[in-house]
Amino acid sequence: MIVLMLGAPGVGKGTQADLLQKEKNIPHLSTGAMLRNAIEIQSPTGIIAAEYVNSGRLVPDSVVTALVKESLESEAFANGCILDGYPRNSSQATELDDILQKLGRKIQVVINIFVPEETIVKRMLERGRKDDTEDVIRHRLVVYRNETAPLLDYYGQQGKVVTIDGDNTVHSVFGKIQDVLSA
Ligand code: AMP
């Protein structure tokens, strides 16, 4: 099963994907986490990615897609995965289609978690990650609106999107996701 988590930065995609990973025993694939790790260990990918991640811009598609492709082709992800943070724009969505087609796999469902922007900013400032300063957060929200949100139409036309109200407790949001997956 391939589940795609969509929604603006800070809506809780990563937290929910972690819970889902534990419950369903399907690995969580977070490009943000992979990039932060690459930056920390100063790998060649990390060295390229740092300036983008720290300023809230999208890392070049080729860099991120290579990470995703390598993961999806590996044995660890053979039974599916929860994709979180990828795709982030229409060309990544096309590349993902291409990778999945070659593997004979499909996205089952796209979970769109929605939280009002002002709540997101408040939550992210509390989270306090290095790229969670107010300016960078605002920029990431603009990038989301312009580049990522249009993917809701792309997957919506395929009848795959389920929108969930994320302005609630972690537990209650997870309950709604469980309902969607068992439906
Ligand atoms: P996230 O943890 O998903 O909020 O991602 C943190 C940062 O990593 C983003 O602001 C981007 O700079 C970078 N990033 C994560 N996923 C992608 C992606 N699919 N394409 C480009 N950049 C990404």
**CATH number of the domain bearing residue 109:** 3.40.50.300
pLDDT tens for 110-128 read: 999 999 999 999 999 998 8
- Ligand 1 center to residue 9 CA distance, Å? 9
Is the predicted pLDDT of residue 130 greater than 90, yes or no?
no
Distance CA 118, CA 113 (A): 15
Structural domain count, the chain = 1
Give the separation between CA 182 and CA 151, rounded to whole angstroms.
24
Q: Is the CB of 63 under 6 A from ligand 1?
A: no
How far, in Å, is the centroid of ligand 1 from the Cα of 142? 13
pLDDT over 90, % of the chain: 96
What pLDDT, on the 0 to 100 scale, is given for residue 129? 86
Give the amino acid at 81: C
The reply to whether ligand 1 has any atom less than 6 angstroms from the CB of 86 is: yes
pTM for the full predicted model: 0.96
pLDDT tens for each residue of 52-103: 999 999 999 999 999 999 999 999 999 999 999 999 999 999 999 999 999 9
- 156 has a pLDDT exceeding 90: yes
Structural domain containing residue 15: 2-182
3 three-class SS: strand
Cα distances (Å, whole numbers) of residue 70 to 3, 61, 65, 115: 18, 14, 8, 32
pLDDT score of 128:
82
What is the C-alpha separation between 131 and 138, in angstroms, rounded? 11
So what's the pLDDT on residue 127? 86
> Rounded to the nearest whole angstrom, what is the distance from the C-alpha of residue 169 to the centroid of ligand 1?
24
- Cβ atoms < 10 Å from Cβ of 127: 10
Distance 69 CA to ligand 1 centre (A): 16
Q: What is the DSSP letter of 129?
A: -
Q: Is 166 helix (H, G, I), strand (E, B) or coil?
A: coil
Query: For residue 46, what pLDDT band results from cuts at 50, 70 and 90?
Result: very high
